[in-house]
Structure 1
Amino acid sequence: MPEESLLRAALDRVIDPELRRPITELGMVESVHADAAGTVDLAVLLTIAGCPLRETITADATAELSVVPGVTAVNVTLKVMSTEQREQLKEMLRGPGGQRGIPFNEPNSLTKVYAVASGKGGVGKSSVTVNLACALAAQGLRVGIVDADVHGFSVPSLMGITQAPTRMDDMILPPVAHGVKVISIGMFVDGNQPVAWRGPMLHRALEQFLTDVYFGDLDALFLDLPPGTGDIAISVAQLLPKAKILVVTTPQSAAAEVAERAGSIATQTGQSLAGVVENMSYLELEDGQKLEVFGNGGGESLAARLSASTGTQVPLLGKIPLQVSLREGADSGMPVVLSQPATAAARELEKIAASLAAQPRGLSGRSLGVSVK
């Protein structure tokens, strides 16, 4: 007969796809036992009745239990948590009392928050966002994306996400793709329906994403902002004052001039700048020559102007070339850093991601646990 301790140890390796923690830790295992013939009966408590990943949990639990010595068969019964059990789970996730708030503003939060901005649309800001997030996740970091471009949301399709978020009372569990937790208004509308909202509703939507969506303990959070310096940019400054602005531009001087406005907002909001990313820098021809379709120097000049206007050194983090594979990855929902990591664009994105990961985290307001005797 398989030992129950070994069965429990196997279930410790079953990770909830949404909460990204073992189902044993989350209180989802109601019971597990085996008979003399080696048949294991497992009862799993789902957070909600219509859990979209119930089959994944069943398959993962069956696979882990099947390798335990003596197990000949596995029967999984799916049940649903009671209201009291869900409240206990939410309190465990959110802390004592299950308090709502923006966890990334807490003094003890070590999450690096990057607001990816641009002066105008069409510079590839969203593609840069998802590739940087996936590059960091591939390194083993815990990463999330908030698609803050409510009117022009595109992150779900760029990440290949068709699954809707799971609602657990007043808590929203974001879908996970390529190891990245993602939330977008596009997950709450039917088809390609437009979202015609004004400032107050935009602010409330962003606030709800940051308070009601459970991201867990992240290493990095990316916000894909709409172009320009409108309502969402102001709301981000109010809701996430410690967020660093990452400005995306193209080499064209006109685009760089417009992008300067998106970066210069930091002087008014008190935010800092993470750096500048130049996208669509050049097109590499078959003979190895580089065709500068949109000119050159836009990224360098933007970084220099932002350094002068903010009084801090704003680096040019990288120059991403034009590549068909970058567009193909966006269309297929498989970012190029994952689908074709050996390409020039993927390597440059990996370099930018590494530079963001290396940026120090602020310790302002945190207790270091040091006492003077």
Structure 2
Amino acid sequence: MSEPALKIVPNELSRQAEAALGQWIDPIIGCDLISAGAVIKLEAFTFRLYIDLHLGFPADHYGPQLRNELERYLLANTQAKVVEVNVTWSVSAAPLTAQTLPAIKHLIAVASGKGGVGKSTTATNLALALAAQGARVGMLDADLYGPSQPRMLGLSELPDTVDGKLQPLVGHGIQTMSIGFLVDEEQPIIWRGPMITQALTRLLNETEWQDLDYLIVDMPPGTGDIHMTLAQKMPVSGAVIVTTPQDIALLDARKGLKMFDKVNIPVLGIIENMSTHVCSNCGHEEHIFGAGGAQRMAEEHDSELLGELPLDIRIRSGADDGEPIVASDPQGELAVAYGDIALRAAARVWLQSRVRQQTVPTIVVE
């Protein structure tokens, strides 16, 4: 579905507003709101401005924040005495995903080249952050050799089966399916490639997902059978790469990024985990694993750094206890950091969809 054209009633104030909006670089979207196609209506009457914005990603909390900041900005940069900004949002399904998985609008893979960089913890908190903005979110634990989502989301039951469909378990509002629900926590999965491929496909297709905006896929480390299955058989909207600043981790992360490029899955950006550590006793900050590695990687590969996350004991303990930090402290600074990263990733899914559909808005002057 094409997005509505931007309608502008022309006068001096509307021209001022349009120029000002063209200079406003939204920190989440990464470009101005007109180029993003977010401004769908702009009306100017004497000294009053009315603007309708529509975002293609969840924004229950970000929308009011954006509205307030934009109203102050336009009051300061135009002759308007009154500015009213209305912000709405919705998530449109990717066409291929809607055809093959009608209950899911977008699949987002969270991957890493190397194990131990906090990929699963990051995936869990990103899912919770999107849900906090109003999205309906699911989690597919695709790390079949080392499933961790049951523990992280505090789930341990055996899923029900209704009419041959597995019913996802719900932890902290996240619909979840994992091989970890079907085997003992300490039982190793000793399967060859074809068995792994079949298991992952069945977990995705034989789970009765309920009207999801996003299904987060927690990938295993490396670039093996599961990654190829994902690329060949699943309509993935984009991938996020998680790494630490350490050179060894970055080396493997680059391989993961190049793999997604080769299979034509857009890389939404890079997340630098364990970026810095702040001593809880003295406040001293130290870059234990190095500094700036993910930023350099993003620049070298024409990608984007979505954000940096600290090495913090609260993140680790929350994951171990089934109480992820975004759920246990939703107003804290760590939840805010995860929230910004999640919104940037979702915004890039929206922008990539717009580019693929070639729905750049047409300006209509009335």
- TM-score when scaled to structure 1? 0.66
- Within 5 Å, give how 1:117-132 maps onto structure 2: 117-132=111-126
Q: Deviations over 1:1-38 (max 9, x none)?
A: xxxxxxxxxxxxxxxxxxxxxxxxxxxxxxxxxxxxxx
Aligned length: 260
1:290 matches 2:299: no
Specify the SS of the correspondent of 1:232: helix
Q: What's the offset of the Cα at 1:342?
A: 4.1
Relative contact order, CA 8 A, sep 6+: which one is greater? Answer: 2
Please state if 1:300 is matched with 2:289: no
Do the aligned residues in 1 keep the contact of 2:109 with 2:236 (CA within 8 Å)? no
1:245 correspondence with 2:220: no
Contact 2:141 2:178 in 1 (8 A): yes
1:215 aligns with 2:204: no
Structure 1: any 5+ residue segments left out of the alignment?
A: 1-101, 308-313, 367-373
Cα displacement (A) at 1:150: 0.3
- Aligned mate of 1:322, from 290, 305, 311: 311
Query: Aligned letter for 1:175?
Result: L
Q: Which residue of 166, 176, 184 corresponds with 1:190?
A: 184
Match of 1:340 in 2: 329
In 1, Cα distance between equivalents of 2:210 and 2:265: 24
Verify: 1:134 aligned to 2:113, yes or no. Answer: no
Question: Within 5 Å, which residues of 2 pair with 1:133-212?
Answer: 133-212=127-206
Whether contact under 8 Å (1:105, 1:240) holds in the other structure is: no
| Gap regions ≥5 residues in structure 2 | 1-95, 359-366
State the AA in 2 paired with 1:302. Answer: M
CA 122–360 in structure 1, closer or farther in 2 if over 3 Å, else same: closer
Q: Tell me, what secondary structure is at the counterpart of 2:147?
A: coil
The answer to whether the Cα contact below 8 Å between 1:250 and 1:278 also exists between their aligned partners in 2 is yes
User: One-letter code of the match for 2:238?
Assistant: K
Share of identical aligned residues, percent? 40
- Secondary structure of the 1:145 match is strand
CA displacement 1:76-108 (0-9 Å, x = unmatched) = xxxxxxxxxxxxxxxxxxxxxxxxxx9655497
User: How far apart, CA to CA, are the structure 2 residues paired with 1:345 and 1:202?
Assistant: 35
Aligned-partner residue type, residue 328 of structure 1: S
CA gap of 1:235–1:105, structure 2 versus 1, over 3 A, is farther
Q: Aligned partners of 1:134, 1:105: CA distance in 2, in Å?
A: 26
State how far apart, in whole Å, the 1-side matches of 2:236 and 2:329 are: 34
TM-score for both structures, normalised by structure 2: 0.67
CA offsets 1:170-189 (integer angstroms, 9 cap, x no match): 21111011110000001101
Larger Rg: 1
